[in-house]
Structure 1
Amino acid sequence: MVMKNIVLLALCSGLAGCATLPSSGPTGKQIKNTAIAPQDGEPIQLVQIHAIADIPIVAVNAAPLAKLPDRAVTPTDMVGPGDILDINIYEAGVALFASGASSVEQSAANVGVQVQKLPPTRIDDLGNISVPYAGTLHVAGLTTGEVESTIRNGLRRLSQNPQVLVTLNQAITNSIIIGGEVSRPGRLVLQTNRESLSDVIALAGGYRGDSKDLMVRIMRGSASVDVRVNDLVENPALDVRIHPGDRLVLVDDPRTYSILGASGKVEQVPFRRSSVSLTEAIATAGGASANFGDPAAIFLFRYVRNAQGKEVPMVYHLNMMQTGSYFIAQKFIMQDKDVLYFGNAAANQPGKLVQLISQLFSPILTVTSAVSVIQNSN
């Protein structure tokens, strides 16, 4: 009799300490109610997926590229600060740059064409170069042909019809910087100034790693946009033209989705391929828990952009107790940062109560058995 009282007292104490039964999350009904009439904030749109036509169409968005300022195509031989020029000056008759001419007679006797090759000339930060006899010349923004004319005009009064040849020794103005997950990071000279994003990645030796996990960040001035490598294949509009001065970085940024609620497991899952369907995501999660999950309450939480371009929360509901839902889920494509939630089954609450009572009884029954064994031994 004393032992029975102890058992009842322990049971009552255990139940009294449990204000609510343990739960893996809200039920499907609770999700719907709190979305339509939340306690805080505005209502969240909940979409019931009954047919393939209800599946949201998610196209690769090219709108962010509009943030990159567009620039006119510049000549490939345009020069600017940092460029290094090779300058050759050709003179006929009396040469201004003739070496070894110590008298008028020697100069007059030398009636052939002479060439003077100047040391490699760097354009300074102000866009200027210095040429003997011609002085300081501003050449930034000019083509090599225009630089030739500028030098020739500076020497015209000092030399008889000088001819000038200017070539680029090192090009800085007409180049970009590319880094990150490419085979040959560094400075890349644009040969045509019409190279696209995929072109410069190829010219840098191609990307390293898995294309589905790579994201390209394009920086132009103070603006920057992100483009996924895989999206370049699916949407050619993203393969934008690269301008001189752009900076590109390829970053390993795997796409993921999260699994929550009453499923076989709760975790963050990386995309195994460039495209993952809702069916595959449910299978990866192990489906709804046989003990606590509700197959009729499968929800997907996602941020989408409205007509004004603003991100708004959206909830999609799929009832996997209906045969057609298995076909619909095959066409429903997961997106980066999606949250897949398995609703808790309200009908399983009595089962949880039984489990709770069993957990409370187990140690007491063990003690009771031990006491009985001791009494019998005595």
Structure 2
Amino acid sequence: MQILTSRITRAVALVAITASLSACGLPRSGPNKKEIFAGSVLEQGDSFVVAVNDRVTAATAITEELGFSSAFQNAGVVGSDTIAAGDVLSLTIWENVDDGLLAGQGANATVLSEVQVDGSGFIFVPYAGRIKAAGNSPEAIRRIITEKLDTQTPDPQVMVTRAAGDGATVTITGQIAGQGVYPIQRPTRRLTAMLAQAGGVAVDPDIAQVKVIRGSKSGTVWFEDLYKNPKYDIPLRDGDRILVEADPRSFTALGATGGQSVINFETRNLSAIEAIAQVGGLQTNSADPTGVFVFRNEPEAIAKQVLGRDDLVGPQRMIYMLDLTQPNGLFLARDFLIRDGDTIYVTEAPFTQWQKTLGAITGATSSVDSLASIGE
């Protein structure tokens, strides 16, 4: 009688455990395929679930192009001796008369040893007035002063030199070997030469970006493009700020992958298969290779092309599905490009959920057996 009671107790417990597991669910890394498809606009959700094929990979293969505008590319080269605000000039003026405008009695030369260029870029020279110095070379300033004095004293001779200051300078910060303020000199009048002067980039060149800020305008270029496209090796201007940084793009990996986290791009163009490899691949004991999903807010134009519709307005929630078990599944994953902000989610295989259920039932049944044996 006790044996029968024990068996009935175990059976009742097994039914109760199974019902409990079915009601509250088992621990898992996220939704399964069925639940993801339930979020489709064809069901009860607001997302478009699209199986990736060659047409989809072509429509979504949008790469981010960086470069400088024509305003940067067409800027003139700054001379190596260009004067800037804050520089100190030394002026020597010779007059071809014994009693000149500037020279003292018995002298025919006047030395103005410390003439500082003010914040507006001007200097003041007696009898010549305010003269624009910033942006000009010493030779240009010499000609301006000579022309202004020539109407007041015969055949003046003027010599202008920089006594102090670096002239035109740029500021370099970020992932660079030598951050600092650098003067624009004859060998460093262009971007690549200035970066070399600062010791080169301190990040993988494959993902390095160079940003140049000039006043209220800015432009960013891939470091490698500076050498592939000479037009991006722009002339530098006084006051330019150069920022070198690693590619700021990232994606999120979730589900049955080797790691669940936010991952930075390691290559300029990152495919789905490369992104999966970056996080350690699929978990061999739990991942479902038929359920690799990429979640993305797709721009209107691309969404229309992917879906073949023209009635969409604004960005659309898209869920791209990759089946790695298909004959061309790995090729499609290799060709499908990941973009900034994407979420890659890998579902668990149905067998994994069955194992969890079986393990939970087996463990719970063992506990019931223990309790039953105590009751005996």
Shift of residue 98, structure 1, vs aligned partner: 4.4
Q: How many residues align?
A: 359
Partner residue, 1:326: 330
Partner residue, 2:360: 356
Partner residue, 2:241: 247
Q: Distance in 1 between matches of 2:182 and 2:237?
A: 11
The one-letter code sitting in structure 1 at the alignment partner of 2:39 is T
Partner residue, 1:219: 213
> How high is the sequence identity, in percent, across the aligned residues?
27
Q: Distance in 2 between matches of 1:56 and 1:352?
A: 37
Q: TM-score, normalised by structure 2?
A: 0.74
For the structure 1 residues 47 and 166, does the alpha-carbon distance in structure 2 shift closer, same or farther, using more than 3 Å as the test? Answer: farther
Shift of residue 342, structure 1, vs aligned partner: 0.9
Equivalent residue in structure 1 for 2:197, among 190, 203, 206: 203
Q: Quick check: 1:25 aligned with 2:19?
A: no
| SS in structure 2 of the partner of residue 323 of structure 1 | coil
Equivalent residue in structure 1 for 2:149, among 155, 161, 166: 155
Q: Distance in 2 between matches of 1:313 and 1:66?
A: 32
Q: TM-score, normalised by structure 1?
A: 0.74
Q: Quick check: 1:182 aligned with 2:176?
A: yes
| SS in structure 2 of the partner of residue 46 of structure 1 | strand
Please, which moves more after superposition, 90-99 or 314-323?
A: 90-99
Equivalent residue in structure 2 for 1:119, among 113, 118, 122: 113
8 A contact 2:89–2:115 mirrored in 1: yes
- C-alpha RMSD of the superposition: 4.1
Partner residue, 1:104: none
The one-letter code sitting in structure 1 at the alignment partner of 2:31 is P
Q: Distance in 1 between matches of 2:335 and 2:143?
A: 64
Q: Distance in 2 between matches of 1:349 and 1:329?
A: 26
1:4-23 matches, within 5 Å, as 8=12, 12=16, 15-16=19-20, 19-22=23-26, 23=28
Partner residue, 1:73: 76
Q: Distance in 2 between matches of 1:232 and 1:306?
A: 32
Q: Distance in 2 between matches of 1:184 and 1:340?
A: 38
Partner residue, 2:306: none
Q: Distance in 1 between matches of 2:315 and 2:91?
A: 56
Q: Distance in 1 between matches of 2:75 and 2:288?
A: 58
Q: Distance in 1 between matches of 2:299 and 2:218?
A: 19
8 A contact 2:87–2:164 mirrored in 1: yes
Q: Distance in 2 between matches of 1:198 and 1:349?
A: 56
The one-letter code sitting in structure 1 at the alignment partner of 2:251 is Y
The one-letter code sitting in structure 2 at the alignment partner of 1:124 is D
Shift of residue 247, structure 1, vs aligned partner: 0.9
Q: Deviations over 1:290-317 (max 9, x none)?
A: 5543211112234555559x87654332
Q: Distance in 2 between matches of 1:37 and 1:266?
A: 29
| SS in structure 2 of the partner of residue 118 of structure 1 | strand
For the structure 1 residues 286 and 154, does the alpha-carbon distance in structure 2 shift closer, same or farther, using more than 3 Å as the test? Answer: closer
Gap regions ≥5 residues in structure 2: 303-313
Q: Distance in 1 between matches of 2:130 and 2:83?
A: 16
Q: Deviations over 1:58-111 (max 9, x none)?
A: 334137x44977774265355453233232222334163546x4xxxxx3xx7x
Gap regions ≥5 residues in structure 1: 102-106
1:1-378 matches, within 5 Å, as 1=2, 8=12, 12=16, 15-16=19-20, 19-22=23-26, 23-37=28-42, 43-44=47-48, 46-50=50-54, 54=58, 56-62=60-66, 65-66=68-69, 72-73=75-76, 76=79, 79-94=83-98, 96=100, 97-98=102-103, 101=105, 107=106, 115-140=109-134, 142-156=136-150, 159-169=153-163, 174-191=168-185, 195-230=189-224, 232=226, 239-252=233-246, 255-272=249-266, 276-290=270-284, 292-302=286-296, 307=301, 313-346=317-350, 349-367=353-371, 371=374
